[in-house]
Structure 1
């Protein structure tokens, strides 16, 4: 795992070496073990590549980047891991290629020599990479199938820059810091900013499963992977159930085994949920010594503490278990550090506990496997049941729904602070999404600020006439002609998974130079998951039915029917107490009027509703706090 950056200049000027080093230095947390640069000037074209190394495989100098082929005509910087590098290397050696290291990185260069950019589709792993051909003066960028590793770029028609993080691009004074109003709308709508947008107008994220080619001042983006369309007739029937389970078990176990290869200490996150427990179980089956597992618990927050479940799984598989018990004060004290680390607004508050567990895990190991992706592939979230609930709800006469039930539910107070209030909040969210069309329902269940709320919130200068979030979801939901569950899962695979979950895990773990691997998101597992009909993913009211049935022999009995519980914080409670200062500092009348982005009366209403316990607006307030902290660092210039 590493940090990469680079610049391509078509003006005739050479790339500034000091700039390249500044960009690279801003990524030191991603690669503290080593650094390197490559620079070349070809007439009117100048190329510079920068790299920060986190050594994982082949810890010697031979693995240093930027890395080249034998005649030094192809150069590469690479971030990630390639899990099928061994068979690819054997194949390339038979064709005459000679290797100077044991790294997975070098395989990519020789594969490019053989097959060009088409070779990217043969890689199994997580990656963001840049390849420069001196012969053709062509730069190629590629990002892995589902977007596990980030890659951003800037282009003004003559100068092209890329990096693992936005902050590195901003090291160049030529990069204009203009806010993208469509991205602001996406952030308020979804709590994150999906690719290809970033909060900056001229900076873009390379979309997962895509290749970007730059040659002669022309950019060309093409997709190299996607879930193949299929029809309900292709889904396995009841007679294929056992065969599907066997295939899934075998495929995921092979994936886990391949991801346990490292020349540094390796362990696993263990939350006590189904997904991480399955990964740990498969690791235990394939390890020669006890697996190192890491879990955090909250001594004074029992509603959010899952350490007992993690402890049970650890005992079940005889792992070397590390339990990190934290107080709410320790989490609260970490929040300003996390907020200051964000180079674009990101409103998922679970970034904070993710940061903490990565920090503690990195004290002992360099690589950790996680269970991310299981909910998005096998229907673990409550939202996926929403469509079935809606169909039942519509059996109630509209007069009773609209005239009695809905006004009564709206009159109740909701809160994340207790289980009763949380149930009311969930019911309200379901009702808000009870729209006329499937696309409208799914989008409403994902929406943070409604169009009406955004209109009241944003000043005229910062609104947009072209909101993107709704059409983004509509396109994804209609990509596959299949059952509604898999259509929802595909939308999450393409939108929230890379932009929210994977971005969060990568960003928070790399702040501590910890590589996190996600076996469930091997693209072959993803492809298999989407050949399984939704009727086997949610069955008899049970989420992840087929997934649990497949792996129940390696799960403690208590997890077989355990409901989903997210990795969250009591943000509502804290905003009313310990974190109230964040509201006062960032959402004060004076600050809001001075910045000129939001209308203060709309913000005051959100705050009043939270403080009076009329409605839990904590996630919306947190979203705005995160934005304001980011704006104070990056937005004002």
Structure 2
């Protein structure tokens, strides 16, 4: 695990000093070692830099950039089945100088070329410079667990694990993309391939791109897409056989994530996903797993007691930390440094703090992201189907037309209800489109597209995202599985995985995602909807598996999201920060927002009106981010 950065400069103006600054901006991702090398090609200078967090082969043999013949490589991530691939390569005559997965990928690429990616089980981004072919290849893992940003202006390509590396290069331009800002306000994250900056993109998961140094030809290739597995016919399999295969795949995936030469722990929230990881790994193990939980003193947010009971039942070595608003305030100003692109998930604070807790005891911690997206855990799936199937289509259309002409603020009684105007506008759009996929899109928005236009100063267009790609799914696919496919490519990758990657790597902790083993999703994607939601029970199949390890009565309780009590904190301990950063002076300094619209929202919220606190949080996070990363340019 590490951070990587580099460039391809066709004007040959970039040297080792800039490469070192770019790479060292990611020191938090790799505090154990650093490597930098600039290659002089005929048409360009190519720089490869890496900061290393030593997890496999702790010796200097794992140093990067790693070179083999005409291939040079930097790598971020872990390939868990590297020993099996290494054995296959040894049988072909390859020899090895280390026990690192980096050397296995490099020599695997030498042997199989781009097809090596199909052999890899893990999370990864690798960059390979081929001096013979005069070509740069960058590849991202299937689910997108590991991040990769790139900037391209026609003369200079920059790439890196985080945007902060780009700020060290003189060619990088920090021009905010208003359309991406709109997406951020709507969803609290920016969906791939977009970023907050123009000319800067995220490499899509399951893709690799190549840049030819001879003609500057840039091509992007998809090698894996979860949609392909959802589009396959449903498996003709009974429940018992499906359950057995899912459990087998989970055991294999979870055990692979224990491969390390350093201590490994598990984040344990007490829900089904993380409990499945802890239970399966602790089962038949004599050594006690280390598990980690964050708790809150505020009622309605705390799940630590349940996690503690499960840890005691499983016999893990459990650690917990009850955080207060003062703990949140301590991490508050670190958020733009941790998340160097606007990112406002409502659990960033507890995620940062549980990572800090875990790092005191281990160097690797397993998370359980993906369970809700794979096994249908979110209530939004149920809502989307219910809202679009509860009445005939013609009635939905008629209601939508009527609602369009009625101002929700003028509806007595209801206009005093929580977030009513936004919910009203969402339902108007849901009934206009009449499909569960569209319903999920609107439910996923904290601020509608129309509301975003009211907050943002310049006019902007609406970028298309994977939420709008339902036509790529088979017409024979049921609504639930369609939503799961889209959710896997949106909320999972650009919200949940970003959240965990940045929080863990900020403290030099490797976060692993065992539920995102591609073999598991490839199988579960082909299962019928009734094995995911059955008789109003979400995660039906996963729950049956977990109940084999943990008694049902310990697990069965209402689902509680892992979020911070921001709604409480904002009105008390953090109130002054809201007033300062969303005040008129700071808003004018940023210059991105309609000042009066934001002031009105903030004043209503602080006055106790029924405003969705996430709207305030999104705006506040952007202001904090802007002050850290763009204020100097604006000045």
Q: Does residue 162 of structure 1 match 2:159?
A: yes
Deviation at 1:153, TM superposition (A): 0.9
Greater mean deviation of Cα atoms: 246-255 or 227-236 = 227-236
**Tell me, which stretches of 5 or more residues in structure 1 are unaligned?**
416-423
Residue 182 of structure 2 contacts residue 449 of structure 2 at CA under 8 Å; is this kept in 1? no
Instruction: Specify the alignment match of 1:290 in structure 2.
Output: 288
Structure 1 residues 315 and 40 mapped into 2: Cα distance closer, same or farther (>3 Å)? same
Structure 1 residues 48 and 373 mapped into 2: Cα distance closer, same or farther (>3 Å)? same
Q: Does residue 15 of structure 1 match 2:9?
A: no
Give secondary structure in 1 for the equivalent of 2:300: helix
Deviation at 1:80, TM superposition (A): 0.4
Structure 1 residues 454 and 228 mapped into 2: Cα distance closer, same or farther (>3 Å)? closer
Residue 152 of structure 1 contacts residue 163 of structure 1 at CA under 8 Å; is this kept in 2? yes
Q: Distance in 1 between matches of 2:298 and 2:516?
A: 31
Instruction: Specify the alignment match of 2:441 in structure 1.
Output: 443
Instruction: Specify the alignment match of 2:130 in structure 1.
Output: 133
Greater mean deviation of Cα atoms: 101-110 or 286-295 = 286-295
TM-score, with length taken from structure 2:
0.93
Q: Does residue 491 of structure 1 match 2:489?
A: no
Instruction: Specify the alignment match of 1:204 in structure 2.
Output: 201
- The 5 A counterparts of 1:517-596 are 517-596=512-591
Deviation at 1:97, TM superposition (A): 0.6
Q: Does residue 601 of structure 1 match 2:560?
A: no
- The 5 A counterparts of 1:506-517 are 506-517=501-512
Q: Does residue 473 of structure 1 match 2:467?
A: yes
Q: Does residue 38 of structure 1 match 2:37?
A: yes
Instruction: Specify the alignment match of 1:369 in structure 2.
Output: 366
Residue 229 of structure 1 contacts residue 480 of structure 1 at CA under 8 Å; is this kept in 2? no
- The 5 A counterparts of 1:62-73 are 62-69=61-68, 71=69, 73=70
Structure 1 residues 376 and 508 mapped into 2: Cα distance closer, same or farther (>3 Å)? same
Q: Distance in 2 between matches of 1:546 and 1:172?
A: 49
Instruction: Specify the alignment match of 1:347 in structure 2.
Output: 344
Deviation at 1:14, TM superposition (A): 5.7
Instruction: Specify the alignment match of 1:227 in structure 2.
Output: 226
Structure 1 residues 166 and 488 mapped into 2: Cα distance closer, same or farther (>3 Å)? same
Give secondary structure in 1 for the equivalent of 2:547: helix
Deviation at 1:327, TM superposition (A): 2.5
Give secondary structure in 2 for the equivalent of 1:303: coil
Deviation at 1:501, TM superposition (A): 0.3
Structure 1 residues 592 and 400 mapped into 2: Cα distance closer, same or farther (>3 Å)? closer
Give secondary structure in 2 for the equivalent of 1:309: helix
Deviation at 1:270, TM superposition (A): 0.4
Q: Distance in 2 between matches of 1:476 and 1:392?
A: 18
Residue 189 of structure 2 contacts residue 345 of structure 2 at CA under 8 Å; is this kept in 1? yes
Residue 231 of structure 2 contacts residue 474 of structure 2 at CA under 8 Å; is this kept in 1? no
Q: 2:102 aligns with which of 105, 110, 119?
A: 105
Instruction: Specify the alignment match of 1:421 in structure 2.
Output: none
Deviation at 1:633, TM superposition (A): 2.1
Deviation at 1:430, TM superposition (A): 7.4
Structure 1 residues 432 and 553 mapped into 2: Cα distance closer, same or farther (>3 Å)? farther
Instruction: Specify the alignment match of 1:622 in structure 2.
Output: 617
Give secondary structure in 2 for the equivalent of 1:264: coil
Give secondary structure in 2 for the equivalent of 1:194: coil
Residue 609 of structure 1 contacts residue 617 of structure 1 at CA under 8 Å; is this kept in 2? no
Instruction: Specify the alignment match of 1:25 in structure 2.
Output: 24
Deviation at 1:604, TM superposition (A): 2.1
Give secondary structure in 1 for the equivalent of 2:342: coil
Structure 1 residues 212 and 185 mapped into 2: Cα distance closer, same or farther (>3 Å)? same
Structure 1 residues 400 and 229 mapped into 2: Cα distance closer, same or farther (>3 Å)? closer
User: For 1:417-437, what per-residue CA distance to the aligned partner results, in whole angstroms no more than 9, with x for missing partners?
Assistant: xxxxxxx99986974664232
Greater mean deviation of Cα atoms: 426-435 or 207-216 = 426-435
Structure 1 residues 329 and 509 mapped into 2: Cα distance closer, same or farther (>3 Å)? same
Instruction: Specify the alignment match of 2:495 in structure 1.
Output: 500
- The 5 A counterparts of 1:127-526 are 127-215=124-212, 216=214, 217-227=216-226, 229=228, 234-236=233-235, 240-285=238-283, 287-298=285-296, 300-391=297-388, 393-394=390-391, 410-414=414-418, 431=427, 434-437=430-433, 438=435, 439-459=437-457, 462-464=458-460, 466-469=461-464, 472-476=466-470, 478-481=472-475, 482-526=477-521
Deviation at 1:107, TM superposition (A): 0.5
Deviation at 1:325, TM superposition (A): 2.4
Deviation at 1:208, TM superposition (A): 0.4
Deviation at 1:620, TM superposition (A): 0.7
Give secondary structure in 2 for the equivalent of 1:91: helix
Deviation at 1:259, TM superposition (A): 1.1
Structure 1 residues 409 and 23 mapped into 2: Cα distance closer, same or farther (>3 Å)? farther
Q: Distance in 1 between matches of 2:231 and 2:200?
A: 39
Q: Distance in 1 between matches of 2:144 and 2:430?
A: 31
Greater mean deviation of Cα atoms: 186-195 or 340-349 = 340-349
Structure 1 residues 254 and 513 mapped into 2: Cα distance closer, same or farther (>3 Å)? same
Residue 312 of structure 1 contacts residue 556 of structure 1 at CA under 8 Å; is this kept in 2? no
Greater mean deviation of Cα atoms: 1-10 or 499-508 = 1-10
Deviation at 1:288, TM superposition (A): 3.9
Deviation at 1:157, TM superposition (A): 1.2
Give secondary structure in 2 for the equivalent of 1:126: strand
Structure 1 residues 50 and 230 mapped into 2: Cα distance closer, same or farther (>3 Å)? closer
Residue 74 of structure 2 contacts residue 126 of structure 2 at CA under 8 Å; is this kept in 1? yes
- The 5 A counterparts of 1:54-93 are 54-69=53-68, 71=69, 73-93=70-90
Residue 14 of structure 1 contacts residue 41 of structure 1 at CA under 8 Å; is this kept in 2? no
Residue 232 of structure 1 contacts residue 483 of structure 1 at CA under 8 Å; is this kept in 2? no
Give secondary structure in 1 for the equivalent of 2:431: coil
Deviation at 1:231, TM superposition (A): 7.6
Residue 148 of structure 2 contacts residue 162 of structure 2 at CA under 8 Å; is this kept in 1? yes
User: For 1:8-44, what per-residue CA distance to the aligned partner results, in whole angstroms no more than 9, with x for missing partners?
Assistant: 1222x26311101101111000000011112221232
